[in-house]
Every structure is written in C-alpha cells, then in structure tokens.
C-alpha cells in the first residue's frame, strides 16, 4: 500500500518501490514523514480516502480538516517517468509535488460520490469475454507471453486466469470475430515488470507481431512509448504543433519504462506496460460517445470508482457532461494519422481500470455483442438486488437473469452500447 496526503493543494507522497512504504504519513510543518530511500516508481495511482474527509487536492469538497489519506496501489493507466531517490526522511511537500508533476503524464484522483450513486457494495471486475476461432491456441499464446497467467475453465468455458483473480473467457466461434464497426471496446492490457525485457523477448519470437507506435503523421515509429517525445499537460501524446515545439527545444525521449502493444490471436490488440511490481491483467481501454457522461453513468448505476483527470478542468455533472471531442490528433498512436485523446475519463472496479477516450469516428459506437471483445463482466454478491436496482433506474437489459455454470448472470447495456454482464459470486 502506498500512502499519501495532501493539504491546501500540496501533495506529499511516498511512492511504491520495493519494499513499499510501511509507515503512515502525517502533516508536520509542511513536510512528509515517510520511510527513507524510496523513489518514484512507474505508477499512476488512485486516491482513496479511507476516512470520511476530503481535500481540494484530491478533487473533493472544499474542506480543510484532512489529516490522513491513503492511496491504494491501483491499475496503472498513464505513467510516471521513473525518478531517482526523490524521497528522504523529510521532504518538503511542495518539492515532492513539483517533482511528481514533472514526472507524470496523469495523476488521477477519486471523485466524491455522484448524486444518486448506489450504496450497495460495488461490483468487482470478473472477466473480459472474447470470441475466438481457436480458444485453445489463444490460451497457449497468452500463457506464453504472460507467464504469470494459467489456463483454466470457468462455467464450462476455456479461460485464462490472471494472478489478480481476473479471468479472460473464450467463446468458440466459426468465423473470425470482427472489430468493426467500432464498438466501445478498444483493447486490453497487462502490467509487466520490465517492459524492455518483454520487448526483447517478444522480438525473439517469430509468432509475436509487435505493433508500431507512430510518432508523426509522416510515419516514424517506436515500439515503446518512452522512446518518443513525452506527453505534456496530462495527455499521453503531443499534437503536431507540440511536436514541432519539442523538436525546436531539443526535447529528448525519456527512455525506460512505457507502454507498448502486440497483436494477439483473432487480431486482438494487447497492451503491455511497465515497469510494474507484478505481472497482471490491468485494464480494458475503451471509447465512449460522451466520456464524462459515461463516467457518471458507471459511478451512479454500478458504484464504480470515478477517476478524476490530471488535466485541469471543472468537475462535470449531468448538466454539462457532454463535451465535444478535441479537434487535434496526437502521437504516439497505433494509427499513422494519430488519435484523439481529449476528452478522457476513467473508472475502476477493484484493481482493474476502464479508461476511455472519445469516440474516434463520426458515427455512434456499435454494440459489442458478437465482436471480438464481446463484453466485460462484473461480480456482484446479490444478483436479484442489482437487477431490481438497475431495472428501477431504467437500465436496458440485453438478457434477463440466466444460469451460467454453477451461478447466475444478467446482461445490461452500457452508455455506449457496450455489453456488461453481472455475475453472481457469493
């Protein structure tokens, strides 16, 4: 567990770098009391107040009575570029905040509860369900590339189990599954402990197809994001104008840890990101027609943890959550023409994140059912209670409760037509 605290906008932090910080941090004369000789790791972390107190610095209400806030080690989406020995027994909070601000692309914080958000126990992330022409071959591929995973079987379906108790389920289909028209599902990703080591390993394996990250519209590319110009302003990329400015100023790539991609079975896009403490399933990256509205939807209806943006901006409500997609594409990107990265939002279920960008196309996102990334699944302890709640809130049910192996499930539709299965896990 990593612990941080904030007061008046100044952030004190003890970042994880094995061994993790073990002492509480308290405010004392504007300094951070923490275990010495820790460095900033390659992390994005979420801010989870375990006491019912909030602060401006973590996106909460304007109260000044914060004594201690704990930050839980969370799924990493962006990156903090690795620093060296930035923690000592006593470091001024402002200095630590400045160092972190220079180092990171994003830092996301917990929002307070959305109006009307459920008080029921939030679901956990259960599985990602893929359609595949050859599930056994797919399982062999994934266990080879991510050795912490294991083949298993769940509800009569072949499955891949991640060390964090997350599953990837496979449904055998007769024809290759499609990813068009574009649905809300984009790709899924793993944490790895050494992204450069993984890259070298994958380069030595002829059956692994690495996907280039294009650095400009002209076509230059890298395999790891940190081998090109770093992002700025909380965005994981640079626009044409920003790239020209970076070139003029002689900005150099940071190198080291970063994110990278490969093509998996059935043409799945798989992200691997490091350097992290352990290898595990980490996120499903998505698109949404209205990113801020979708964040409110997941928070209100499913009790998700809404993750605040590192980019300055107002806290959105249902009255102003519809925000036009930003006009500028940025790089690095899997597409040579670049990609739209604003607006962006995210939620988490346990240690799995669902980050998303705005719909990249001009048509509404399509249903995910029957496509490669068929649906995501969340675990709930009382399916009947959740069904009653969601039905009362007018949520569309794609499938009424049905038997699933030794348990039951139901299927609902998300804000951008993504299919979400609710699996009862007692």
From 103, 136, 165, give the residue that closes a domain: 103
From 103, 135, 160, give the residue that closes a domain: 103
d(CA 88, CA 311): 28
Does the residue 354 lie in any domain? yes
Query: Residue 79: pLDDT above 80?
Result: no
Residues 6+ apart with CB under 8 A from 336: 214, 217, 219
d(CA 198, CA 203): 9
Give the global pTM.
0.75
Does the residue 97 lie in any domain? yes
Mean pLDDT of the 313-335 span: 94
40 and 142, same structural domain?
no
Does the residue 312 lie in any domain? yes
82 and 52, same structural domain?
yes
**In total, how many domains does the chain have?**
2
d(CA 413, CA 398): 6
Does the residue 116 lie in any domain? no
Least confident of 15-19, 140-144, 404-408: 15-19
Mean pLDDT of the 48-60 span: 27
153 and 62, same structural domain?
no
Report the candidate in 354, 364, 324, 353 with the shortest Cα–Cα distance to residue 340: 324
Does the residue 360 lie in any domain? yes
129 and 85, same structural domain?
no
Query: Residue 265: pLDDT above 90?
Result: yes
303 and 155, same structural domain?
yes
d(CA 273, CA 282): 9
334 and 305, same structural domain?
yes
229 and 85, same structural domain?
no
130 and 91, same structural domain?
no
230 and 89, same structural domain?
no
CATH value at residue 223: 3.10.180.10
Query: Residue 370: pLDDT above 50?
Result: yes
274 and 376, same structural domain?
yes
pLDDT in tens, 86-130: 233 333 333 333 333 323 333 334 444 444 455 689 999 999 999
Which residues are 262's β-sheet partners? 210, 270
From 103, 134, 162, give the residue that closes a domain: 103
User: Cα 83 to the chain's mean position, in Å?
Assistant: 22
Least confident of 72-81, 122-131, 181-190, 238-247: 72-81
Which pLDDT value is given to residue 345?
95
d(CA 229, CA 78): 15
HEC sequence for the chain? CEEEEEECCEEEEECCCCCCCCCCCCEECCEEECCCCCCCCCCCCEEECCCCCCCHHHCCCCCCCCCCEEEECCCCCCCECCCCCCCCCEEEHHHHHHHHHHHECCCCCECCCCCCCCCCCCCEEEEEEEEECCHHHHHHHHHHHCCCCEEEEECCEEEEECCCCCEEEEEECCCCCCCCCCECEEEEEEECCCHHHHHHHHHCCCCCEEECEECCCCCCEECCHHHCCCCECCECCECHHHHHHHHHCCCCCCCCCEEEEEECHHHCEEEEEECCCCCEEEEEEEEECCHHHHHHHHHHHHCCEEECCCCCCCCCCCCCCCCCCCCCEEECECCCCCEECCCEEEEEECCEEEEEEECCCCCCCECCCCCCEEEEEEEECCHHHHHHHHHHCCCCEEEEEEEECCEEEEEEECCCCCEEEEEECC
pLDDT band for position 342 (50/70/90)? very high
128 and 95, same structural domain?
no
Query: Residue 16: pLDDT above 50?
Result: no
Report the candidate in 162, 156, 120 with the shortest Cα–Cα distance to residue 422: 120
Does the residue 114 lie in any domain? no
Does the residue 119 lie in any domain? no
Q: Output the CA–CA distances (angstroms, integers) from residue 307 to 33, 46, 48, 236, 389, in the order listed.
A: 27, 7, 10, 16, 23
Which pLDDT value is given to residue 310?
67
Does the residue 110 lie in any domain? no
pLDDT in tens, 183-240: 999 999 999 999 999 999 999 999 999 999 999 999 899 999 999 999 988 889 999 9
136 and 85, same structural domain?
no
For 409, the domain range is 124-424
Query: Residue 39: pLDDT above 60?
Result: no
């Amino acid at each position: 567990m990593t612990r941080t605290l904030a007061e008046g906008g100044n952030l004190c932090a003890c970042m994880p770098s094995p061994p993790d910080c073990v002492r509480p941090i308290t405010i004392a004369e504007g300094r951070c009391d923490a275990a010495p000789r820790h460095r900033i790791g390659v992390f994005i972390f979420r801010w989870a107040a375990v006491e019912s107190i909030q602060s401006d610095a973590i996106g909460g209400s304007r109260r000044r009575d914060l004594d201690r806030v704990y930050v839980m080690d969370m799924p990493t989406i962006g990156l903090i570029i690795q620093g060296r020995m930035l923690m000592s027994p006593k470091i001024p909070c402002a200095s630590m905040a400045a160092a972190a601000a220079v180092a990171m692309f994003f830092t996301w914080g917990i929002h307070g509860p959305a109006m009307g958000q459920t008080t029921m126990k939030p679901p956990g992330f259960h599985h990602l369900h893929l359609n595949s022409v050859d599930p056994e071959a797919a399982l062999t591929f994934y266990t080879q590339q991510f050795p912490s995973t294991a083949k298993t079987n769940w509800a009569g379906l072949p499955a891949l189990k991640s060390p964090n108790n997350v599953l990837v389920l496979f449904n055998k289909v007769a024809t290759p599954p499609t990813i068009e028209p574009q649905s809300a599902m984009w790709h899924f990703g793993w944490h790895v402990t050494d992204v450069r080591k993984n890259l070298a390993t994958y380069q030595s394996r002829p059956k692994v197809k690495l996907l280039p990250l294009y650095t400009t519209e002209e076509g230059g590319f890298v395999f790891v994001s940190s081998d090109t110009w770093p992002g700025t302003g909380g965005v994981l990329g640079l626009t044409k104008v920003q790239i020209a400015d970076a070139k003029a100023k002689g900005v150099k790539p940071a190198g080291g840890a970063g994110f990278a991609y490969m093509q998996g079975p059935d043409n799945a896009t798989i992200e691997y990101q490091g350097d992290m403490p352990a290898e595990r399933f980490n996120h499903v990256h998505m698109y949404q027609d209205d990113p801020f509205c979708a964040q409110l939807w997941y928070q209100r209806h499913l009790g998700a943890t809404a993750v605040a943006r590192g980019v300055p901006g107002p806290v959105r409500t249902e009255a102003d959550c519809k925000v036009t997609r930003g006009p500028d594409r940025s790089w690095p990107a899997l597409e040579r023409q670049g990609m739209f990265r604003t607006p962006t939002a995210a939620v988490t279920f346990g240690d799995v994140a669902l980050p998303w960008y705005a719909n990249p196309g001009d048509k509404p996102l399509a249903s995910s059912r029957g496509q490669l990334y068929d649906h995501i699944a969340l675990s709930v302890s009382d399916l009947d209670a959740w069904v009653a709640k969601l039905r009362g809130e007018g949520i569309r049910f794609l499938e009424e409760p049905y038997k699933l192996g030794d348990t039951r499930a139901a299927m609902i539709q998300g804000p951008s037509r993504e299919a979400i299965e609710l699996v009862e896990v007692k």
